[in-house]
């Protein structure tokens, strides 16, 4: 008796199962990578907003203590900037008294991720000036 060449039904079913597992895994990796890329893009944008606010606030050597806030043009990112003394030590003997003193500029940027999770980034620096 002559044997026919080709694949059996069992071999074809096994091949389709393996192919579906590979495709499902590839899809999961791709979608996770895309979601991570969006999160990193949001984080980069928040960092840019915080750095811009700090750069604008640190121009000059005269600062006014207080808090200001705003939001990005697309209203996705909200920021709060706080300016205060950088030498607020609980021990008065540790404070520096001179015409110029350290000024702390802090910015907190908050936004919602694509998945609806609240995210935030805080950035702060010290500059020398007067208040």
Q: List per-residue pLDDT tens for the chain, 131 residues long.
A: 567 788 889 999 999 999 999 999 999 988 888 888 888 999 999 999 999 999 999 888 788 889 999 999 999 999 999 998 877 655 556 555 566 788 899 999 999 987 888 999 999 999 888 87
What is the 8-class DSSP label of residue 3?
P
The encoded tokens of residue 116 equal 């609806």
Where in the chain are the domains? 9-129
Q: Within a 10 A sphere around the Cβ of 18, how many other Cβ atoms? A: 10
Structure tokens at 27: 């899809």
* Cα–Cα dist 29/13, whole Å: 24
Q: Report residue 124 CA to chain centroid gap.
A: 15
DSSP conformation letters of 52-73:
HHHHHHTSSSB---EEEEEE-T
């Amino acid at each position: 008796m002559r044997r026919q060449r080709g694949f059996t039904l069992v071999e074809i079913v096994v091949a389709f199962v393996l192919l579906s597992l590979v495709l499902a895994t590839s899809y999961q990796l791709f979608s996770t990578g895309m979601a991570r890329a969006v999160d990193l893009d949001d984080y980069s944008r928040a960092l840019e907003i915080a750095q811009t606010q700090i750069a604008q606030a640190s121009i000059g050597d005269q600062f006014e203590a207080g808090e200001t806030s705003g939001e990005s043009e697309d209203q996705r990112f909200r920021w709060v900037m706080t300016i205060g003394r950088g030498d607020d030590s609980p021990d008065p003997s540790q404070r520096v008294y001179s015409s110029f003193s350290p000024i702390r500029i802090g910015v907190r940027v908050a936004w919602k991720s694509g998945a609806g999770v609240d995210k935030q980034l805080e950035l702060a620096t010290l500059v020398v000036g007067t208040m």
